[in-house]
């Protein structure tokens, strides 16, 4: 079984690839796969019908209870024969239906995928796997209905079918999960063997039924099926009549015998099923398009199947099984006939077809057989199915609504008889002697090729053969019914059971149908007058429209395009949701320490004042300087806290940032533009206060969490000297313990540096094009600065290298060393501008960045060469002749890479933000 | 966590929030800077009371030192913040050369989506007036509006 499924998967990929070369012969090639499946089913049939089952299981995601469990019992066998048998015939038929074209691969691929998915549905024993196959059929159905992608109608119909069936599918998934979790297993047989009970199971079942109803086009979701007739006829015959729409029926049939005793089950299923039967039959009576007539007829028959299987009793289940077979045979044949008529006569309109029985005698005979089966006339299989259905409902006559159900069934059968006659009359009867009409379908109408007609003829003959010799299908349908409802076997199929009540009702239905046919003009007039003010389709359309409009309104309101507005919404949410939770849980009021060390208070005061000044000032430069004060304050707080590395980094970056701001601000106006509206300032102020309070609370809260568990860093402190061979633990974390993070960080720095260089270059080019005057920083040579820079430059560079090398044991390291080196270049830049800096820089910034990054990566990769992890540190002792030995550690090289990247960043910034280079022509 | 420090961090965040809700890129950059100061302080100070710098002295007990892990995290954070701020400034500079100022304009695509809804509402309003008065011709409306 898994082999077959895998073959379908492979064929799905392969078929579109070779389709172009084979043209329409691709359908013949593809037909082999369903044919093989059919052969497999026949080969396994004897043992399965004897009562054994074939099962296979492949683990997929065992953690989720997801496995591809396959199991074939008699009912699955029946469905498999249906899917594979119809599939074979449909592929053969398609060979003649379609003309050669470039798009056939787009049709044959999804079609074979569908055949595989449908096969999967009927043999899946895991609910989740079943769901996956189920949705696959929805998707392939969507692709096939919308095959004619230039027709807006086909696209709309495809989308509608998809939305309805997938909405049902999603509900079904939720239902499966509810059921599976309650049962403790996702195995279908497991659930059915030990049915779970309880509220959640009942809700789950309702959701599953919702899915089944949408898939099988039950009222009020029946409206997508007629629309699906936009698909090419072979697709309609296969998906939307014989197989896919029976997936819901299949599921109902599986579940009903176990769950039918639930109070809502039978009224719901029998009610919905019979209502659908009436609606479908009634609508079929007024169709002028033969294909739509069949579509509504299909809805009607599906309703009957839902009602039959929904009862969960043996006799009705047997009737349902027979009906599945009978329906597939006659409806498949009739769809194919419609395709032939459409193909040969060029129309499917009842009013334009005239006297076709003379032109297409073979087709006519096949149609008569199939229609007779649909109408429920002996000696065809449809008659046996209807008899069985009536008997099934007769068994329930004792239940309160049993009589009503029986009456509705008879009325439904009468409708079926009437629309069957309408189909035969519409397709073939001579209607008018009107020359014009006769001419239209006249001379060009050619007899179909033998291969074109053969599949329909086979199905029609099967309807007859099974009817005359019910023994041929007896084992299969009785076996299915027994597999579904264990217990005493219903009796054998036969045409003649004697003068039973069922026979009398059957005769009544036929007479009723004849009456309806006789009164067809009156019925038509009545139908014209009694159009419903609204129907399910309109409800669907309005729902879709409402959803779209709602989405528009919400998007229009929320997505205004304003950055401050977005930020305000995000921040407001942060304050409102976690903030309110925090306040509600405020039973902790931590032991609040007013202050840690007195120096903190002084620094904090300065910082607070500077922060407020940043907000209040209208001048750019003051705002920048005030922010810098805050930054330096942070550095001092780090010193107090016992973090010298941080303090150094913060100080250096603060300085660099200040220089950068000044360089950029030269180009910008001195003051900020207007303050914005008054109410907006109030909102911002309120939000700022709220965020500030929220963070204060959160800080206190977070601080009080300390001490609930031992800190991670205890381990770092312990391992620093034995494993890291260093004493500066912060540096060890950066270059050794958590070196991969640092590696990521220097990648980000490199990216930022390159981005900045690109942006500034683009900006300058833009300026040049606009012909604006270049802003030049004119240097007033300062002798003192110049002299100082010359003296200090090399000293500072040397100091930066010392910082780099001692970083392992003392404050310092790659980041700090790189920044100090950068500071040396800042000095040179301030004293002599870009030209001087260009002279002293060791390499262009791109080269520094690239070298640093490469070095770090190579050092990391050597870890792999030694068979350990990326960036795993090593140490080795180098013997240098004449000097002695040097302890050498790989992390030093890594730190050197960091150093180079940081230096490259600084030089890149100075080069970009600073004075423009005057290029000599 | 001492109250003084918590309040300081709160003030930094509050001031940063006010600045970030601006349209001027310079102020947004400064606001982000204040936020990151606050966040860095918060992380370091959540690491416990002040202690000796984590430069190991084998004789001292582990509790003697300040927690090194938040420090390493914040060192990374400072460097990244610097990269982002510099990038923002470059954006401001680029915006300056293109538009003459460093304002963050509304997203055009977003405004178009919002306009979609507005247009629909106006259309409906037009239809309603049409129905009510029965006289205002559709052409007139269309001519006037578009």
> Are the beta carbons of B86 and A756 separated by less than 8 Å?
yes
Query: Which H helix or E strand runs over A837?
Result: helix A814-840
Q: Kindly determine whether residue A593 and residue B3, on different chains, have CB atoms separated by under 8 Å.
A: yes
Across the interface, of B21, B80, B84, the residue whose CB is closest to A684 is B21
**pLDDT value at A878 more than 70:** no
Contact partners, residue A562, CB within 8 Å, separation at least 6: B106
pLDDT (average), residues A546-562: 82
Backbone Cα Rg of chain B: 27
| A220 upstream amide cis, omega within 30 of 0 | yes
- Band the pLDDT of B142: cuts 50, 70, 90: very low
Q: Which of A656, A834, A646, A820 is nearest to A753 (CA)?
A: A656
pLDDT interval class at A883 (50, 70, 90): low
Judged by CB atoms closer than 8 Å, whether chains meet at B82 and A684 is answered as no
How does pLDDT run across A82-129, given as a tens digit for each residue?
999 999 999 999 999 998 877 888 899 999 999 999 999 999 999 999
Token representation of residue A299? 């809805």
Q: Which two tokens stand for residue A465?
A: 């053969």
Query: Exposed, middle or buried: residue B60 (CB in 10 Å: 0-12, 13-18, 19+)?
Result: exposed
Q: Verify whether the Cβ–Cβ distance B83 to A672 is below 8 Å.
A: no
How high is the pLDDT of residue B143? 39
Token pair recorded at residue B26: 């310079």
pLDDT for A577-604, tens place per residue?
888 888 887 665 655 677 777 888 899 9
Q: For residues A48 and A43, what is the distance between their CA atoms, to the nearest angstrom?
A: 10
For residue A757, give both structure tokens. Answer: 């260089």
A611 contacts in chain B (CB < 8 Å)? 11-12, 15-16, 34
Scanning B105-124 for CB atoms below 8 A from A yields 106-111, 113-118, 120
Question: Is the CB of residue B59 less than 8 Å away from at least one CB of chain A?
Answer: no
Per-residue pLDDT reduced to its tens digit, A763-801: 777 655 444 444 444 555 678 888 888 888 889 999 998
Q: Measuring CA to CA, how many Å separate B42 from each of A515, A593, A693, B50, B70?
A: 88, 16, 14, 13, 10
Is the CB of B8 less than 8 angstroms away from the CB of A766? no
Q: Give A747's contacts in chain B (Cβ within 8 Å).
A: none
pLDDT at A85: 95
Q: Do A760 and B50 touch (CB under 8 A)?
A: no
Chain A residues with beta carbon closer than 8 angstroms to that of B80: 745, 748-749
Asked if A426 and A294 touch (Cβ cutoff 8 Å), the reply is no
Out of A46-50, A480-484, A754-758, A836-840, which region has the weakest mean confidence (pLDDT)?
Answer: A836-840
- In contact, A873 and A889? CB cutoff 8 Å: yes
pTM: 0.69
* Interface contact flag, A811 B55, Cβ < 8 Å: yes
What does the buried/exposed string (b/e) look like for A88-97 if buried means 16 or more CB atoms within 10 Å of the residue's CB?
bbbbbbbbbb
Closest CB to A645: pick one of B12, B49, B75.
Answer: B75
User: CA–CA separation, A411 vs A307, rounded Å?
Assistant: 14
Say which of B3, B68, B106 has its CB closest to residue A729: B68
Which positions in chain A touch B24 (Cβ < 8 Å)?
672-673
Contact B75, A730 (CB under 8 A): yes
Q: Can you give the pLDDT at residue A772?
A: 41
CB of A341 closer than 8 Å to CB of A348: yes
Residue whose token pair is 């099988």 = A216
pLDDT of amino acid A767 = 56
For range A228-241, the mean pLDDT: 91
Q: Do A763 and B93 touch (CB under 8 A)?
A: yes
Of B17, B33, B89, nearest to A664 by CB-CB distance is B89
**Lowest mean per-residue pLDDT among A300-309, A459-468, A721-730, A838-847:** A721-730
Cβ distance of B106 and A594 shorter than 8 Å: no
Size of interface A-B (CB pairs under 8 A): 333
Q: Which of A598, A713, A770 is best to mutate for the B interface (most B CBs within 10 A)?
A: A713
Q: Tokens at residue B36, please?
A: 């990151």
From the candidates A553, A560, A561, A659, which should be mutated to test the interface with B, based on the most B CB atoms within 10 A? A561
d(CA B95, CA A746): 27
E strand or H helix at A587: none
Residue carrying structure tokens 């990929």: A13
């Amino acid at each position: 079984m898994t082999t077959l499924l895998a073959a379908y998967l492979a064929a799905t990929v392969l078929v579109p690839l070779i389709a172009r070369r084979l043209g329409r012969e691709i359908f013949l090639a593809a037909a082999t796969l369903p044919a093989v499946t059919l052969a497999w089913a026949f080969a396994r049939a004897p043992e399965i019908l004897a009562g054994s089952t074939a099962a296979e299981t492949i683990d997929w995601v065992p953690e989720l209870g997801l496995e591809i469990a396959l199991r074939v019992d008699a009912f699955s066998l029946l469905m498999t024969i249906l899917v594979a048998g119809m599939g074979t015939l449909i592929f053969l038929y398609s060979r003649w239906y379609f003309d050669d074209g470039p798009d056939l691969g787009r049709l044959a691929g999804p079609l074979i995928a569908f055949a595989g998915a449908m096969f999967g549905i009927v043999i899946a024993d895991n609910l989740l796997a079943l769901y996956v196959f189920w949705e696959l059929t929805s998707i392939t159905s969507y692709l096939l209905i919308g095959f004619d992608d230039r027709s807006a109608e086909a696209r709309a119909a495809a989308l509608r079918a998809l939305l309805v069936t997938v909405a049902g599918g999603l509900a079904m998934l939720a239902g499966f999960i509810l059921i599976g979790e309650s049962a403790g297993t996702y195995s279908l047989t497991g659930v059915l063997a030990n049915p779970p009970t309880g509220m959640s199971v009942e809700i789950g079942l309702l959701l599953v039924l919702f899915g089944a109803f949408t898939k099988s086009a039950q009222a009020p979701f029946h409206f997508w099926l007629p629309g699906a007739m936009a698909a090419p006829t072979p697709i309609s015959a296969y998906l939307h009549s014989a197989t896919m729409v029976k997936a819901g029926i299949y599921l109902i049939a599986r579940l009903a015998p176990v769950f039918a005793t639930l109070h809502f089950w039978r009224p719901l299923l029998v009610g919905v099923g019979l209502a659908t039967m009436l609606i479908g039959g009634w609508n079929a009576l007024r169709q002028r398009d033969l294909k739509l007539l069949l579509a509504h007829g299909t809805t009607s028959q599906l309703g009957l199947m839902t009602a039959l299987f929904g009862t969960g009793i043996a006799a009705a289940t047997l009737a349902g099984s027979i009906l599945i077979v009978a329906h597939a045979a006659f409806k498949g044949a009739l769809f194919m006939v419609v395709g032939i008529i459409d193909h040969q006569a060029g129309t499917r309109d009842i009013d334009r077809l005239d006297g076709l029985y003379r032109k297409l005698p073979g087709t006519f005979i096949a149609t008569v057989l199939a229609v007779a089966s649909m109408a429920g006339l002996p000696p065809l299989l449809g008659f046996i199915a209807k008899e069985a259905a009536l008997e099934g409902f007769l068994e329930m006559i004792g239940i309160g609504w049993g009589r009503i159900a029986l009456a509705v069934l008879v009325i439904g059968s009468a409708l079926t008889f009437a629309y069957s006659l309408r189909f035969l009359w519409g397709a073939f009867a001579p209607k008018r002697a009107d020359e014009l009409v006769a001419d239209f379908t006249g001379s060009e109408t050619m007899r179909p090729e033998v291969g074109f007609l053969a599949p329909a003829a086979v199905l029609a003959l099967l309807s007859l053969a099974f009817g005359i010799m019910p023994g041929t299908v007896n084992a299969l349908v009785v076996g299915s019914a027994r597999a579904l409802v264990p217990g005493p076997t219903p009796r054998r199929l036969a045409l003649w059971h004697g003068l039973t009540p069922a026979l009398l009702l059957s005769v009544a239905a036929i007479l009723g149908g004849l009456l309806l046919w006789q009164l067809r003009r009156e019925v038509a007039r009545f139908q014209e007058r009694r159009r419903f003010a609204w129907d399910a389709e309109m409800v669907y359309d309005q729902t879709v429209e409402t959803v779209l409009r709602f989405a528009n309104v919400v998007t229009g309101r929320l997505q205004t395009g304003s950055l401050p507005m977005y930020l305000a919404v995000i921040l407001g949410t942060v304050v409102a949701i976690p903030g309110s939770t925090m306040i509600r849980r405020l039973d902790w009021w931590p032991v609040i320490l007013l202050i840690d060390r007195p120096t903190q208070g002084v620094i904090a005061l300065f910082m607070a004042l500077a922060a407020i000044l940043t907000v209040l000032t209208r001048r750019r430069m003051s705002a920048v300087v005030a922010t810098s004060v805050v930054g330096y304050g942070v550095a001092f707080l780090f010193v107090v806290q016992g973090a010298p590395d941080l303090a150094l980094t913060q100080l250096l970056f603060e300085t660099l940032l200040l220089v950068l701001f000044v360089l950029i601000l030269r180009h910008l106006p001195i003051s900020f533009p207007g303050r914005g509206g008054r109410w907006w300032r109030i909102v911002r102020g309120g939000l700022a206060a709220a965020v500030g309070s929220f963070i204060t609370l959160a800080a206190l809260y977070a601080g009080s969490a300390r001490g609930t568990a031992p800190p991670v860093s205890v381990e770092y402190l312990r391992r620093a000297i034995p494993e890291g061979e260093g004493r500066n633990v912060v540096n060890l974390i950066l270059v050794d313990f958590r070196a991969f993070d640092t590696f990521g960080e220097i990648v980000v720095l490199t990216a930022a540096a390159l981005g900045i260089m690109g942006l500034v270059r683009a900006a300058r080019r833009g300026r040049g094009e606009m012909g604006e005057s270049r802003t030049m920083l004119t240097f007033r040579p300062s002798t003192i600065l110049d002299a100082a820079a010359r003296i200090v430059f090399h000293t500072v560079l040397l100091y930066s290298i010392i910082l780099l090398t001692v970083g392992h044991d003392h404050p310092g390291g790659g980041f700090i060393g790189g920044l100090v080196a950068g500071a040396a270049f800042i000095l040179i830049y301030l004293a002599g501008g870009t030209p001087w800096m260009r002279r002293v820089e060791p390499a262009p910034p791109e080269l520094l960045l690239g070298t640093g990054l490469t070095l770090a990566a190579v050092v990391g990769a050597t870890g792999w060469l030694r068979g350990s992890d990326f960036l795993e540190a090593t140490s080795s002792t180098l013997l240098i002749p004449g000097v002695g030995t040097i302890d050498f550690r790989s992390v030093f090289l890594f730190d050197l890479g960091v150093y180079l990247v940081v230096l490259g960043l600084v030089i890149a910034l100075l080069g970009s933000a600073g004075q423009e280079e005057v290029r000599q022509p | 966590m001492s109250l003084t420090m918590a309040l300081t961090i709160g003030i930094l965040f509050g001031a940063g929030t006010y600045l970030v809700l601006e349209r001027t890129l310079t102020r947004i950059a400064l606001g982000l800077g204040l936020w990151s100061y606050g966040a860095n302080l918060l992380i370091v100070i959540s690491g416990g009371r002040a202690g000796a710098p984590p430069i190991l002295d084998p004789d001292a007990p582990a509790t003697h030192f300040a927690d090194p892990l938040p420090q390493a995290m914040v060192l990374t954070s400072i460097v990244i913040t610097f990269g982002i701020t510099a990038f923002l400034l470059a954006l401001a500079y680029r915006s300056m050369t293109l538009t003459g100022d460093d304002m963050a304009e509304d997203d055009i695509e977003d405004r178009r989506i919002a306009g979609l809804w507005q247009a629909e509402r106006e259309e409906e309003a037009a239809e309603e007036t049409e129905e009510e008065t029965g006289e205002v011709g559709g052409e007139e409306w269309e001519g006037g509006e578009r």
